Structure 1
Amino acid sequence: MLQDGKIYVGTSRKPDDTINKGEYLDLKYANRHGLVTGATGTGKTVTLQILAEGFSNAGVPVFCADVKGDLSGIAAVGERKDFLEKRAQAIGLDPYDLQEFPVIFWDLFGEKGHRIRTTVSEMGPLLLSRLMDATDAQEGVINIAFKIADDGGLPILDMKDLRSMLTYMSENAAELSRVYGNISPQSVAAIQRDLLVLEQQGAEQFFGEPALKISDIMRTTNDGRGAISVLAADKLMMNPRLYATFLLWLLSELFEELPEVGDPDKPRLVFFFDEAHLLFDNAPRALIERVEQVVRLIRSKGVGVFFVTQNPLDVPETVLSQLGNRIQHALRAYTPREQKAVKVAAETFRPNPEFDCFEAITQLGVGEALVSTLESKGVPSMVERTLIRPPASRLGPIAEAERQKVMAVSPVAGQYDTDIDRESAYEILARRAEEAAKEEEERRRKEEEQDREIPENRRWTLPGFGGDDDDDDRDDRGRRKSSTRRRSGYQRQTVTEVVIKQVARTAASQIGRALVRGILGSLKKGF
């Protein structure tokens, strides 16, 4: 529900359970980002759903991941249920209108939505290294692969392109290392093994063309509502590293492609990052810095980012400090770590003298939360204990037939469902290798033919005892031998050449002995 450019979140109540006032999220400050936290089963998904509904009705496109399949119900009209009607009555929501919302379903695997892909080049070496959990040495090799591809006009679009680049680098490591730095065969082999693991986890389907156009997740309908892009992530969650890397890539693409708009009256897009802890678990410092940079700077592009997770400690402090709008559902405080999480969550709110935040967080019921949003001049409002409003769309998943019907009338139907495999590094390197092999085969063939060739018009004679062309024969043979030595360093002799040379040596030896005897005989007669 909208009221003067604000999204209705719910109604706060006083400690004596009397109704206080409505709590709203100001669209003007929605690009200052937000955080929705709470233990499992406390209502985080419903809060995400009602925020997505509010942004859509305000004309703001939304992108969110559907981890459990529950968010798909946002594409269908809500159903009147007793507990929903009771909540609407308790918060004074009258009338309680139901509606459906414009939804585009996406799926990296193409099973529950339109295929969503990117190219390896667009992913970039940093995120690809994160996806592969690469070491520093392996990350260096991946960076070199991208540089060689850029210098050589070799587009890296899919997994087979990357494998081809690595094979090319391995075969030419000595030469390439002199130009680009050390290319360790061990690192190349390790990366190739990691690629096989990624392929088995489904990453091969993520890389390719047609790549996602950012404009397709920023659509609005003819009646002015923002389209809600829902990514089917139930299967994707089986590989959390791929899930986190994909969402971070999407944020990075938004940051790079969208122009600066400052602080607009409403966001150009709102991005919900469910199960946010997957992005930061065991993440290297360089990646966390990248997330912090994107979150800090993407605000000026008119994009709001909301992290949804169980525990506020899941989000690094440097990122947490960037999140101005807070909705905190119940947390348990049985273990020391849980108590620390509750304390951190309580301390992030602007205190309300009417109740203790620490106590309230542990006592909140299902569908109830502590809410603090940015008000005038971006100052956080005083935290209020709030009953979250019921959703206008269906609570829970839709049937498969309903999903297929929504996909059939989708504005992107048919655009991403067929793979495109244009010429890239794999084809170019394969063609170059084939051409090189043909040239080498042709060179060898010519050498073999030249070695076997015996001119018919040549008269073979002994050196110094032949006809007029004897000198020409010797010159020609000398040139051939010299050329052969330069060409291969060693030239195998024919049988004819061996016989002739042996006869020549024998004749020369006999003539030499005859001359010596003649000279000695003359000397004897003189004495």
Structure 2
Amino acid sequence: MSETILLGAGERPCTLLLSRANRHGLIAGATGTGKTVTLQTLAEGFSRAGVPVFCADIKGDLSGLAEAGRSNPKIEQRAHELGEADFAYEPSPAVFWDVFGQQGHPLRATVAEMGPVLLARMLELNETQEGVLSIAFALADDEGLLLLDFKDLRAILSHVADRAAELGTAYGNVSKATVGTIQRRLLMLEQAGGEQFFGEPALALADLMLVTPDGRGAVNVLAADKLIASPRLYATFLLWLLSELFEELPEVGDLPKPKLVFFFDEAHLLFRDAPRALVEKVETVVRLIRSKGVGIYFVTQNPLDLPAAVLGQLGNRVQHALRAFTPAEQKAVRAAAETFRPNPRLRVEAVIGELGVGEALVSTLQADGTPSPVERARILPPRGRIGALTAEERAAIIDRSPLAGHYDTAVDRESAYEHLVGRTTAAPAEGPRRTGGAPVRSGNPWGGAALPPRPLPPVPPPTPRGSRIPQLPQGQAGGGLGGMLGDILTGRGGKREGVAESMAKSVARSMGSSVGRQIGNAVLRGVLGSILKR
């Protein structure tokens, strides 16, 4: 199996070393310059190398990689000219996902997994409102109430409002007006369809890292054409997915190839209106997730859409054409040119504006970790279809998926809503249904037996009031994430008590009331919550 992915060629071939693919990357360029085709070529290359891929499909164009490309002499000639001697049209093993459950397997998370920090960002809450939301999570932890779906969150917020006077001493002041504001934000999210994201069965990260019997990695395609209409929801959802990967994957250091490559399209939405503290902590996550075998590739129109601190972490770069008609655009072109290692044969600043569709400036990390000199290259065409699938083709692929039947029906088990409203039983609920599909098949068309059903997480026992996880002794936390966790739990750092500290206490309560995998997840989710908040 090849140790490189061929991206294209100019005066020399432009390749991406798989052993350096976890150093992250950037695909940038103006609208219509070929970013999506470059993304498809890269995704197919990783898949053929046995690396699973996750990417968001903003316009529906990426879905075509699930079918073999149509014969085109110009494409074939271009591929041969660029050095792809074995070029042949072929589909990639695609798995389609959709938060709304219409164009792929429903993709869900529980309210508890999302946590108060990311949920507050999704709802665009201020600090006071976020504090009340953290109190609701803390109360649920202390009383052993599972927060799984949308109605659980509504029920616990109503419960907090009803007990506002009683809770003030133990948790802090709660205003019924603030709870009402949060409930209105939840209503807006519900009307936008966002409530379908919360529930069970929740996504198992192992299902994003499937490999076919012949060694090809699955290409997970998230249908985001509807999701992108709510930019904050889109950005927060992908940030949550990154946080889950960060939490659950073990440290592996540098591998011969990544365990997963994550493409973050429309990446500027993650940083739009973000406070400086958030940007700094996202940079930390981007830097540390590399050692877990995950490569992140940001896709955006202009490199300046990303903060300089994040841009500095991206070692592999593909820069398509930028147009410079205004002084601000000319400044952006100069800044983009300065990020490349110079090539004495190229005037990069001038070339950026001259690139045609399907051309790009390419610089990737070499074996010694240094960037290669920038090269003007023609990008290799993909082997899959360029363009969107029809609804019938998409439905047929979904029905043949190895995950068919695992996520299609929502499960509504006893949780906070049932306890607070007084209902003692919960029947399975119908989840979002796909349209135009055939009956779900029970076998695994990728070979082998069908994947077994995944058990739901156990219900944690109620935790006595006032229980807390013991504090870490001074000096044992160390640096890095361990140090951050130690600072959170021991109160070091000289910060005044506020929302961040109340959230840390919520994490401690959650750790005290969880079992098994939930304990580890709560610890690391607390770390990420602190990273995103402090």
Pick the TM interval, shorter chain: 0.7 to 0.9
Q: Which residue of 1 aligns with 2:9?
A: 11
Aligned-partner SS, 1:378: coil
Give the distance between the partners of 1:103 and 1:220, measured in 2 at CA.
11
Greater CA drift, 340-349 or 38-47: 340-349
- Whether contact under 8 Å (2:47, 2:216) holds in the other structure is yes
Which is further off, 394-403 or 87-96? 87-96
- Of residues 263, 279, 297, the one that matches 2:270 is 279
Q: Partners in 1 of 2:363 and 2:84 — Cα distance?
A: 20
Equivalent residues in 2 for 1:286-301, closer than 5 Å: 286-301=277-292
Residue matched to 2:416: 425
Match for residue 351 of structure 2? 360
CA distance in 1, matches of 2:166, 2:83: 75
Q: Which of the numbers 121, 140, 143 marks the counterpart of 1:149?
A: 140
What amino acid maps onto 1:234 in structure 2?
D
Which string of whole-angstrom CA distances, capped at 9 and with x for unpartnered residues, describes residues 178-218 of structure 1? 10111122221111110000001111000111100000001
> Is 2:219 aligned against 1:219?
no
2: CA distance between counterparts of 1:261 and 1:95? 33
Q: Residue by residue, what CA displacement relative to the aligned partner does 1:393-444 show, whole Å, maximum 9, x if unpaired?
A: 11111121111111111010000010101111111111299xxxxxxxxxxx
The one-letter code sitting in structure 2 at the alignment partner of 1:420 is: V
Q: Does 1:118 align with 2:112?
A: no
The question of 1:369 aligning with 2:360 is answered yes
Q: CA deviation at 1:36?
A: 0.3
1:92 is displaced (CA, Å) by 4.0
Does 2:262 align with 1:262?
A: no
Q: Distance in 1 between matches of 2:335 and 2:180?
A: 44
Deviations 1:265-318 (A, max 9, x none): 100000000111111111233432332122111001000000000011111111
Residue-by-residue CA offset, 1:248-277 (whole Å, 9 max, x unaligned): 000000010000000001000000001111
Alignment partner of 1:231 is 2:231: no
Deviation at 1:164, TM superposition (A): 0.9
CA distance in 1, matches of 2:166, 2:212: 56
- Residue 473 of structure 1 is matched in structure 2 by none
Match of 1:452 in 2: none
Contact kept? 2:29, 2:321, Cα under 8 Å: yes
Show the counterpart of 2:516: none
Shift of 1:118: 0.3
Distance 1:412 1:221 in 2: 13
Among 186, 189, 199, which residue is 2:177 paired with?
Answer: 186
Q: 1:313 aligns with which of 301, 304, 318?
A: 304
1:326 maps to what in 2?
A: 317
- Which residue of the partner structure matches residue 476 of structure 1? none
Q: How far did residue 375 of structure 1 move? A: 0.5
Separation (CA, whole Å) in 2 of partners of 1:432 and 1:229: 38
> Which residue matches 1:87?
78
CA distance in 2, matches of 1:242, 1:276: 13
Within 5 Å, give how 1:475-494 maps onto structure 2: none
Judge which range, 307-316 or 84-93, deviates more: 84-93
> What's the counterpart of residue 472 of structure 1?
none
SS at match of 2:377: strand
The two structures have a TM-score, normalised by structure 1, of: 0.79
SS of 2:16's equivalent in the other structure is: strand
Partners of 2:174 and 2:417 lie apart in 1 by: 20
- Deviating more after overlay: 321-330 vs 334-343: 334-343
1:77: which partner in 2? Answer: 68
Q: Which runs of 5+ in 2 are unaligned?
A: 425-534
The structure that has the greater radius of gyration is 1
1:253 aligns with 2:244: yes
The reply on whether 1:349 has 2:340 as its aligned counterpart is yes
5+ residue gaps in structure 1? 13-19, 434-527
Q: Using the alignment, how far apart are the partners of 2:418 and 2:265 within structure 1?
A: 39
Is 1:41 the equivalent of 2:32? yes
Question: Which residue in the other structure is 1:243 paired with?
Answer: 234
Partner Cα distance (2:276, 2:346) in 1: 38
The answer to whether the 8 A contact 2:17-2:367 is kept is no
Task: Return the offset for 1:94.
Answer: 3.0
Q: Structure 1's 423 and 287: CA in aligned 2 closer, same or farther, altered over 3 A?
A: farther
Give the one of 129, 132, 138 matched to 2:123. Answer: 132
Contact 2:252/2:292 (8 A) holds in 1: yes
Q: CA deviation at 1:89?
A: 4.4
Question: Does structure 1 residue 30 correspond to structure 2 residue 28?
Answer: no
Q: Secondary structure at the match of 2:420?
A: helix
Aligned-partner residue type, residue 240 of structure 2: W
Give the aligned partner of residue 463 of structure 1. Answer: none
Q: Give secondary structure in 1 for the equivalent of 2:422.
A: helix
Cα shift at 1:336: 2.0
Q: Distance in 2 between matches of 1:246 and 1:85?
A: 38
After TM superposition, the score normalised by the length of structure 2 is 0.78
Counterpart of 2:388 in structure 1 is: 397
Compare 95-104 and 44-53 and name the one that shifted more.
95-104
Partner Cα separation in structure 2 for residue 70 and residue 111 of structure 1: 17
Question: What SS does the corresponding residue of 1:63 show, helix, strand or coil?
Answer: strand
Q: Deviations over 1:74-96 (max 9, x none)?
A: 00011122432342244243343
* Percent identity for Structure 1 against Structure 2: 62
Report SS of the residue matched to 2:314. Answer: coil
The alignment yields a C-alpha RMSD, in angstroms, of 1.4
Q: Distance in 1 between matches of 2:283 and 2:80?
A: 41
Measure, in 2, the Cα distance between the counterparts of 1:289 and 1:154: 34
**Aligned partner letter, 2:319:** Q
Distance 1:386 1:296 in 2: 28
SS at match of 1:270: strand
Give the Cα–Cα distance (whole angstroms) in 2 for the partners of residues 347 and 399 of structure 1: 42
For 2:167 and 2:109, how far apart are their aligned partners in 1?
Answer: 28
Query: What letter is aligned with 2:4?
Result: K
Instruction: State the partner residue of 1:508.
Output: none
Separation in 1 of the partners of 2:224 and 2:74? Answer: 28
State the match for 1:407 in structure 2: 398
Runs of 4+ aligned structure 1 residues displaced above 6 Å come to none
Distance 1:290 1:120 in 2: 22
Instruction: Give me the whole-angstrom Cα distance separating, in 1, the residues matched to 2:97 and 2:302.
Output: 27
Q: 1:166 aligns with which of 157, 162, 172?
A: 157
Q: Which amino acid aligns with 2:211?
A: T
Whole-angstrom CA distance in 1 between matches of 2:250 and 2:83: 41
Match of 1:63 in 2: 54
Q: Provide the rounded CA distance (Å) in 2 between the counterparts of 1:416 and 1:288.
A: 33
- For the 8 Å contact 2:9–2:377, the answer to whether it is kept is yes
